[in-house]
Structure 1
Amino acid sequence: MSSADRLLLFLHLGFAIFALGPLTAATMATPRYIRRAQPGVVRYLNRATRVYGLLTLGIFLFGALLAHGRFDQMWLSASMTLFIVALVLLFIVERDQRKAVHKLEVADAERRPAPAAAAPQSAAETAAAETAGGGAVTAPGEGPAAGAADAGPTTPEPAPRAPLGEPAKVETGRIATISGVVALIWLVILVLMVWNA
């Protein structure tokens, strides 16, 4: 093996080690943080998927240069085809991560309580209003019902909250499935390379 081939092999393996490991970790950790409804973490994992996904192109490039045009070998063609399939699947994962971040942010905004329309009166303001009214005396049975005075202000029942991570349930399942398939593809390519090296 010439020194140029050694350099290409070093770059090929270096990109494989430093790109595939973090990429696989980012895609496989995404469903957990979607279920925990943490859009900030999912956004970070989406960025990591994009960056390391682009770095995996170096693996393909240096591997193709290392082949010296001998693409008629079955294992090499199979490896390259599987690699392209994995890249297409990673595009789907990256898209689903973005959709999940958007859905989690919308669900988080809907969960926040709306600002109160009018602040309730304090006890001092209520007493002042009664005094200003002239202290009119009401006959028994003419005033408000006894239970109504103790009831206090009524507030509407809050809407039931959706379970955490529920808004992006479809994306969670798809990301988990596809990231598992992509990890399996990396292992098959590794076996083909080691077996035929």
Structure 2
Amino acid sequence: MVWPGKKLRKKRRREEEDMINSNHLEGMIPPDLGKIPATKILTLQLNNLSGVFPPSLESVNTDVALSNCQHATRKHSYQHWCLGDKLPDMQSFELSHNRFSGVIPSSLFNLSSLIDVYLDTNKFTGSVPSTVGRLQSLSSLSLYSNRLDANNKMGWEFITSLTNCSRLQHLTIADNSFTVGSCQARL
């Protein structure tokens, strides 16, 4: 694979995986990256990417890991992605260690095949969508070190919805703005 102006150290674990991490990549994500037909897992961790996510990446049926894409932004808000329609087979969604902000889009949890969700160490705000309970195969949910809040019954509904996630093994929500005003609520 060619990255503009860069020879890549490409690691392949399996035929369907492209690991392009730790290449000291800078600049924008090339639009053709989303057109790799056999890729099921795409890892771009530990780079310094910036600019906008190419529209072609929205329609990729792969697992996407974009950790440490420190300056990556979208022209159109990710809150309006129809993720369930565009990425129906995705099993892992990792956007950790970035600077993403705003609310977590509830459409993320329409991806019924998701097993792992890593949104930690960003600047997400608002409540965790209770739609997270739709993910019956969810094993790991990492939301620590954001600006998420829950200060009333509605804000805590995501905890109740997680009872539907019978395979959940790891839940991390530390370092947010969660509060319990009264000990009358059952957690």
- TM-score of the aligned structures, taking structure 2 as reference length: 0.18
Larger radius of gyration: 1
- TM-score of the aligned structures, taking structure 1 as reference length: 0.18
Report 1 or 2 for greater relative contact order, CA contacts < 8 Å, sequence distance ≥ 6.
1
| Larger relative strand fraction | 2
| Larger relative helix fraction | 1
